[in-house]
Structure formats: C-alpha cells, structure tokens
Amino acid sequence: MSKKESFVKGTLILAAAALIARVLGLAQRVPLEHLLNVTGEAAFTQANQVYLLLLPLATAGIPSTLSKMVSERYALNRPDEAQQVYRAALIFSAVVGVLMSIALYIAAPYYAEYAKVPESTLAIRAIAPALLLFPTIAIMRGYFQGRNNMMAGGISQIVEQIARVSTAILLAYILLKQGYDNTWMAAGASFGSVFGSVGAFGIMLYYAMKMRRTEDKAALYDSSAARLPLLGIYKDIFKLSIPIVLSSITVPVVNFIDSSLIVPLLSGQIGIEDATGALAIYGSRAISVAGIPPVLAIALSTSLIPIISAAYARKDEQHLQRQVTLAMRISILTGTPIVVSLMVAAYSINGLLFTTLDGSGIVAMLTAGTIFQITMMTTNSILLGMGKSRISMYYVFAGILTKLAASFLLSKVFGIYGIIGATALCFIVITLLNLRMLKKIVSFTIMGKRWGGFAVAVLASGGIGYGLNEAGIMLTRLMPDRLAFLITCLVVGGAVVIIYLVLLIVLGVLSRQEIAGYPRVLQKVLNPLMKLQPARVRTHE
C-alpha cells in the first residue's frame, strides 16, 4: 500500500469512528432524555461539559505532538528515541490523570453551586474517575497515529462509546427502578464514562501488546541506545503541544461557558426553573444534534493538512494556494447541506427523538452556527499545518473573550438565543482572524465570483426543505406523531441535499476541473451529476 493510500485509509477510519461516536452519543441522549427530568438532564449536561473541557487540558495537546515526534524519529531510523518520548508522555499522562481526577472530585460542589445547579455535584464526582485513564488513552492513540496505525484509535473510540452509552442508560434505568431520584440517576449516567474509559484502555492495551510482540521478533530496539534526558524530552514536547492544545479547545471551552452561564444569566429573567430547563434542552438536545455537521467536513479537510504542511515547507506557493482553497471549499460545501437539513428539520427531529417539542428553536439556531465552527476548525488546522499554532492560539483567546462579552450583553435582550448567537459570533471572529492571517501568507480565494450561485443553492434548498418540513408536520393528523416526524426528516434531508447538489452544478459553483482534485469518494458521487451542467456554464470554466 502506498503512503497516499495508507493516509487516505487512515483518515477514513478516523472519520468513520468519529461519525459512529457522534451517532452513539446522540443515541445515548434520546433514552436519557426520556428517563431524566429537567434537573437530571441539567446535571448530566454540566458533568459532561466539565469533563470534555478538562480532557484536552489533561493531555496538554501531547497526542498530536507525540504523533509528529514519533513519526519523525521512526522515519530517521531512531526507534529507541521514539520509545523514550512515548514512555515520558505516558508517565506525564498517568500523573496528570490522578491529579485531575482528585481536583475535579474536590471542586465539584463549588462549581455546581456557582453554576446554580447544585444537583450536578454527584454527576461531576461520578465522572471524575474517567480522567484516571483517558489521558493515557489519548497518549496511546497519538503514538499509534505516529506509527501510522489508525485502526487502534478508531476501534478504541467505538468501543469506548458503546461501553459508555450502554452502561449510562442501564445504570440510569436501574437507579430509576430502585427508587433513586434524578440526582443519583444523572450520576449513574455520568459514571458510564468510566466504563467507556476501561473499554477503550483495554483495546489500546491489546494493540500495544500486539505491536510489541511483532517488534520483539524483528529486534527493532537496541537496549544499549543512549538515554535522552527526561527534562529535555518534556521541553521538546511542551514547546509544540501547549499552543496546539490552547488553539484546539475552542469548542469544549465554548460549551463549558454556556453550560456554566445559562442558569446564572437567565434565572433573573425567567426564573431558576425555566433557566434550568433551557440548560437541559441545550445540553441534551441542541449540542447532540449540532455535533453532527462538523464530522464529515472536518475529516475531509484534515486529510489535506499534511499536503499543505509539505507545500509550505517547500515554499511552493502555487501548490499551497491550490490546497488551501481546496480545503476551505470542501469543508464549506460538504458541511452546508448537513447544517441546512438539520436546521430546517429541527422541529421534526425534536419530535422524532425526544419526549416534547420544546426547544426546537434552540436546536435550529445552535445547528445553524456550526457552519462557522466548521470554517473556524478548518482555518485553525491550516494554520497549524503551517506551524502558526501560537498565532492561532491568540485568535482563539480573542474569540473566547468576544464570546464572554457577547453572552452577557445579548442574553439581556434575547435570552438563551443571545447566548447561542454569542457562540456563533465567537466562531466568526476566529474564522475572520484566521483568514486574515492566511491571506498574508498565501493568496487564495474560496468561492471567488461563485458566492452568488452558492447563496442561491443554500437559500433555495433551505426554503424548499422548510416548506417540506411544514407540510410533513401536518402528517401528524393522519398517523402516529413519531412516524410522521420520521418520514418528514427523511424527505427533508434527501430533498435538501439533492436540490443543493444539483443547483451547485447547474449554477457553475462546482466545475469538472475542480472535482478532479477532490478525494476519490467525492468524485464518484459528483461526476455523474456533472451531466446536468449547462454547456454555457462549462464554457466559462
């Protein structure tokens, strides 16, 4: 297998694993939303958002850095050095895992009190032990990626989600039947993450032992090799990893800010009970649905980052320009139809998956903002590929400060929608700053003169999708509600994607020449549709 084929295969494995993990995460939220009341959902949401924020901080960006350092050392035929770096990273992860778990357990009641959901204390404490293993799991995944073994990380991610989701639902159900209140049920559901960590660690341990046996047979390592100083290894690691982690935690930080501020900011306006309900909808419904659009788009654009990095190192400006343009276009063009479909069908999705139709507007608005999350993550990745992680870090700080200020200001006027709007504004600010920096490095265009055609495709597909959703809702008068909502979701999703693709081709937003540079999977889908493009459009390519 060639390096290019191996890389594409690895990317597809990670993309598939990430998509399965998101779907399983959504699958977990549905039964939990039926089992838990508003207080239980709010407690579970806060526990998860605190945990998801601390996880990347606990690993300090080392997995990405370790992948790079290990790959380089094996390429230079210095496997002993790679092993020493790996062992140093494992020591760090073990120590940090213990410290983070203890710190989270102790701090749980103080944070819960500040966030005005004191019932979340037990749930936060229940999820704390998961931090014992997850930093080590993340380090092992980074090491295997550096060895070009994506299967280990992908399978461990899927096993982790299956173990977490199944045990979370089972524990919450058992506690319900035993007569425990929602505070304990939320804690039981949160403890599912601990089982997830055990499952993932078991898979990584299996692959590590399997690889070690293979290497022992090949006598790959030299026991007499010179020892690298531990402090020197950590210095090299943190010099690269700290800017990476600070620029890559934007989404967990934003979600943490929202879950921490929704009740304090809204309780004075709508009361503590309704504010807690808004947090429950935001955490159990909106975040789950809005987490779907970025998966495919980011996986596709990320596959181009090593190419961008190589072009930048060679100072090949023409190739760099082409690849930056391609990365941005793929992420926007593939992410948009998913965002539009979920946004216009938010009411039907809410009715299909959850117990009530409350909060459909919250789901729709948070999902709409993910298109800017996609552009932010793509431009961040490009800057990281160019070695501009420190600059990217500063832009993330600017975006988060904007988010905080806008949340306080907009929530006074628009309530929960102001807080969600502030999230989109944060992503927009970071995207614009990233694009400004990229323009200084390389001259490129995203759509050029084709923005008009793109806008028409989005508005037309979205408008038709919205009309179909409204018509589908009327089916609830003729059949069971969930069946009507299921049919509506399928029809709206299919119609939006098909109309969007056809209009992109008919209006000349996509060209044959450009499609030839896309990943092979996309080429197979788009090439047959190019027959729909009018001759007059093709002549202007």
- The CB-side HSE value for 445 (13 A sphere, CA atoms) comes to 5
Task: Compare 512 and 342 and report the one with higher pLDDT.
Answer: 342
Q: Give the C-alpha separation, 224 to 14, whole Å.
A: 36
The mean of the pLDDT values for the chain is 82
Flag whether pLDDT at 541 surpasses 60: no
- Both tokens of 174, joined, read 């058992």
Q: Give the C-alpha separation, 131 to 135, whole Å.
A: 7
At position 76, the amino acid (one-letter code) is: L
- Both tokens of 469, joined, read 């959703």
Residues 6+ apart with CB under 8 A from 79: 73, 220, 221
- The CB-side HSE value for 537 (13 A sphere, CA atoms) comes to 18
Task: Compare 412 and 539 and report the one with higher pLDDT.
Answer: 412
Flag whether pLDDT at 346 surpasses 70: yes
Instruction: Using pLDDT thresholds of 50, 70 and 90, give the confidence band for residue 436.
Output: very high
Q: Helices 230-248 and 79-114, interaxial angle, to 10°? A: 50
- Both tokens of 539, joined, read 């002549």
Task: Please state, in angstroms and as integers, the Cα–Cα distance from residue 507 to each residue in 453, 459, 466, following that order.
Answer: 6, 13, 22
Q: Give the C-alpha separation, 474 to 471, whole Å.
A: 6
Q: Helices 3-35 and 150-177, interaxial angle, to 10°? A: 10
Q: Give the C-alpha separation, 534 to 532, whole Å.
A: 6
Task: Compare 516 and 113 and report the one with higher pLDDT.
Answer: 113
Tell me which residue has tokens 């700290």.
242
Flag whether pLDDT at 390 surpasses 90: no
Contact call for residues 93 and 62 (beta carbons, < 8 A): yes
At position 230, the amino acid (one-letter code) is: L
pLDDT in tens, 17-73: 677 777 777 777 778 877 888 888 888 888 888 887 787 776 666 776 777 777 767
Can you state the percent helix, strand and coil of the chain, rounding each to 5? 85, 0, 15
Can you tell me the mean pLDDT for 188-205? 90
Q: Give the C-alpha separation, 370 to 287, whole Å.
A: 10
Least confident stretch, 47-56, 459-468, 497-506: 47-56
pLDDT in tens, 85-112: 888 888 888 888 899 899 999 999 998 8
Can you tell me the mean pLDDT for 280-289? 82
Task: Compare 510 and 222 and report the one with higher pLDDT.
Answer: 510
Contact call for residues 383 and 393 (beta carbons, < 8 A): no
The pLDDT assigned to 10 comes to 53
DSSP assignment of 97-136: HHHHHHHHHHHHHHHHHHTT-GGGHHHHHHHTTHHHHHHH
Instruction: Using pLDDT thresholds of 50, 70 and 90, give the confidence band for residue 6.
Output: very low
Q: What is the largest CA-CA distance in the chain?
A: 78
DSSP state of 221: -
Residues 6+ apart with CB under 8 A from 367: 286, 289, 290, 293, 339, 342, 343, 346
The pLDDT assigned to 487 comes to 93
Helix (H) or strand (E) holding 384: helix 370-385
Instruction: Using pLDDT thresholds of 50, 70 and 90, give the confidence band for residue 539.
Output: low
DSSP state of 476: G
The predicted model scores a pTM of 0.75
**Phi, psi angles (nearest 5°) of residue 522:** -70, -35
Task: Please state, in angstroms and as integers, the Cα–Cα distance from residue 287 to each residue in 282, 283, 449, 531, following that order.
Answer: 6, 6, 34, 39
Helix (H) or strand (E) holding 427: helix 416-441
